[in-house]
Amino acid sequence: MRRLSILVSYDGTAYHGWQVQPGLPTIQSTIEKALSVIEGESVKIEGSGRTDAGVHALGVCAAFNLKNPIPTDNLRKALNRLLPFDIRITRVEERPANFHPRFQATAKTYEYRIWREEVCPPFLRRYVHHHPYPLDETAMIAAAARFAGEHDFSAFCSTDESDILGKSKVRTIFESKAWRDGETLYFRVRGSGFLKHMVRHLTGFLLEVGKGNNTAEDLVEILKGPPAKVAFSAPAQGLHQISVEYPLP
């Protein structure tokens, strides 16, 4: 039995997120169906994390076991022939038997894109949050840097079924920055891990800073706790998972 990983890029518009949901199209279930055709029996995959409905990805890692001896490059080509064009496999690699794409990840990077002009081009509308209204972008850029460091991000996540386990919501953000480039305001964050809807809540907070309803000083107090949930979450289509990192072999 082989342990393999794939690097997946996808347009999440037509899907109800990554994770399998009965009766709904998801990224995971679509890839599993394609792999099952190649293997001749059911194949289950494990992802590096879950993305929400409508969220996009440039590089999500997933792993699975396969009996088929097909070479990795041929497997990539076969999967791309079977998959719809909004899901692409960009890499296939042999992995050790104990490789797990979620538990062994050392960092993940997400980027949120906000289109700032009055008219959003139709071919970009699925991939940005269109917000042409006034924003104090200088304040947003300054506040974005304040997310960096180790903090309890309980205020910046949605309720999850795993909350009953009482797991820590402390995460380390290695880098957090916002910047304007042309018509787009970008927010990029790289961290050890992320909670449910966390990046969308972080972005929502920044938007409220831009509107003058929150300040960077408010953020400092929120992160000190006790946590009170941040009420604003940015729309899904502006969010892109950029990459997942693993220790060097």
In the predicted structure, residue 249 carries a pLDDT above the cut 70? no
The confidence band for 155, taking pLDDT boundaries of 50, 70 and 90, is: confident
Q: What is the pLDDT of residues 90-112, one digit of tens each?
A: 999 999 999 999 999 999 999 99
Q: Which of 109-123, 132-146, 156-170 has the lowest mean pLDDT?
A: 156-170
Within the chain, which residue ranges are assigned CATH 3.30.70.660?
Answer: 107-245
The confidence band for 160, taking pLDDT boundaries of 50, 70 and 90, is: low
Within the chain, which residue ranges are assigned CATH 3.30.70.580?
Answer: 2-95
Residue found by looking up tokens 């342990």 in the block:
3
Model pTM?
0.93
Asked if 60 and 47 count as a contact pair (C-beta separation under 8 A), the reply is yes
Instruction: Provide Rg for the chain, Cα atoms.
Output: 19
Residue found by looking up tokens 């009965």 in the block:
22
Q: List the one residue out of 4, 110, 101 whose CA is nearest residue 52.
A: 110
Active-site amino acid positions: 52
What's the pLDDT score for residue 248?
Answer: 73
How many whole angstroms separate alpha carbon 6 and alpha carbon 40? 19
Please name the residue ranges forming H helices in the chain.
27-39, 72-82, 137-144, 198-211, 216-224
Q: What is the pLDDT of residues 12-32, one digit of tens each?
A: 999 999 999 999 999 999 999
Q: What is the pLDDT of residues 177-235, one digit of tens each?
A: 999 999 999 999 999 999 989 999 999 999 999 999 988 888 888 887 666 677 788 99
CATH class of this structure's domain 107-245 = alpha beta
DSSP state of 14: G
Q: Tell me the β-bridge partners of 61.
A: 7
Which residue type sits at 57?
A: A
Q: List the one residue out of 25, 27, 29 whose CA is nearest residue 42.
A: 29
The CATH architecture to which 2-95 belongs is 2-Layer Sandwich (3.30)
Three-state DSSP class for 175?
A: strand
In the predicted structure, residue 80 carries a pLDDT above the cut 60? yes
- In terms of Cβ atoms closer than 10 Å to its own Cβ (0-12, 13-18, 19+), residue 241 is buried
The confidence band for 123, taking pLDDT boundaries of 50, 70 and 90, is: very high
The confidence band for 167, taking pLDDT boundaries of 50, 70 and 90, is: confident
